[in-house]
Amino acid sequence: MTMDRIGPPIESLTHRLLDTPPDFLDEPRIGHSGQVYATAVVNDLLLRHGSRADAAALARFRSNDARADRNRLLLVSVTAWLLADDWFVTAALPQDALLRVLDEAVAELAAATPADRFVKDPDRREELARVVLARLGHRPEGETLAQATDRLSGISGTERRRLIEASRAAEQRARAIREALAKKAAEESADKWTRE
């Protein structure tokens, strides 16, 4: 990931995330529930950037599976809000680069962190802002390449390590639950006055 070009000050992006309108965290449309159509949000963003996406390019922002996609589509909306900032619009970014950020980078970030934390938590706001800038080939204004690289890996690395540890702990606990359940023979459990 190169960050050769100079972007906006990081604070302007984190402030924008802090000011994310609540509507962007409304429920994403999945199947027949939710109000926010992520496809429409992305389409509006691309129009603001002067481009137009075909249906195939937007397919990734449509879903019928809340378990797999809900958090990701929430973060798509938040990231679209960030990318609608004037700086990004005037930067004349290619459509495929924008779509890649909304698809791949968002999926990675949403895999283990609730989307609202990228609005409410200062570290996660900075992480999202830095990741988006970096994936578009930019670094924050006022930072050298080394500084930007260092800060991105610092803030993302700490979070990734925390997530890896949390994931390991979660897997250990799931295994412990399965073992605890398996240990008890089928009905040798405890008294109920009726049995279903």
Partner 1 sequence: MIDEAIERENYPTLTDAGRDVLQRLREHPAAPAYRNQSGNRLLAADLPGLREFERETLAASVGWPAGRQPDWLPAFVQEVFSDVPWYRALGPPPQRFEDVPAIGRGDLAADIARFVPDSLPLDRLINFRTTGTTGQPLLIASHPVVAARYLALHKRALRRFGVELTHGRGQVGVVLLGHQRECFTYVSVTPLMDESGLAKINLHPDDWRNLDDRARYLDAMAPEVFAGDPISFAELLELPLTTRPKALICVSMALSTGLRALLEARFGCPVLDVYSLNEVGPVGVYDPAAGGHVLLQPRLYVEVLDAEGRALAPGQRGEIAVTGGFNFCLPLLRYRTGDFGALAHRADAPVIVGLAGRQPIRFRTRGGQWLNNIDVSHALRELPFSRYSVHQQADGSLVLRVPPGERAHAAAAVAALKALLGDPPVTAESLTGDGKCIQYTSDLAGAAA
Q: At its nearest, how many Å lie between partner 1 and the CB of residue 7?
A: 27
Give the distance, in angstroms, between the CA of residue 21 and the centroid of all CA atoms in the same chain.
16
The Cβ-side half-sphere exposure at 5, using a 13 Å CA radius, reads 12
Phi-psi region of 30 (alpha: psi -120 to 50; beta: other; left: phi over 0): beta
**Which range of residues in 22-30, 50-58, 88-96, 147-155 is near partner 1 by CB under 8 A?**
22-30
Q: At its nearest, how many Å lie between partner 1 and the CB of residue 31?
A: 6
Residues in a beta bridge with 33: 30
Contacts of 9 (CB under 8 A, 6+ apart): 140, 141, 142
Contact status: 97 vs partner 1 (CB under 8 A): no
Q: At its nearest, how many Å lie between partner 1 and the CB of residue 173?
A: 7
User: What mask of x and - would describe binding to partner 1 in positions 165 to 184, judged by CB under 8 A?
Assistant: -----x--xxxxxx-xx--x
Q: At its nearest, how many Å lie between partner 1 and the CB of residue 2?
A: 31
Compare residues 29 and 49 and give the one whose CB is closer to partner 1: 29
Select from 3, 10, 13, 25 the one that contacts partner 1 (CB under 8 A): 25
187 phi and psi angles, rounded to 5 deg:
-110, 0
Contact status: 193 vs partner 1 (CB under 8 A): yes
Residue appearing with tokens 């399965």:
178
Ranges within 45-84 binding partner 1 (CB under 8 A)? 66-67, 70-71, 74-75
Q: Are 63 and 6 in contact (CB under 8 A)?
A: no
Q: At its nearest, how many Å lie between partner 1 and the CB of residue 146?
A: 34
Ranges within 107-166 binding partner 1 (CB under 8 A)? 110, 114-117
Positive or negative: CA dihedral 99, 105, 110, 115: negative
How far lies 82's CA from each of 22, 56, 93, 129, 154, in Å? 13, 23, 14, 8, 22
Contact status: 21 vs partner 1 (CB under 8 A): no
Q: Interface with partner 1 by CB under 8 A: which residues?
A: 25-27, 30-34, 66-67, 70-71, 74-75, 110, 114-117, 170, 173-178, 180-181, 184, 186-196
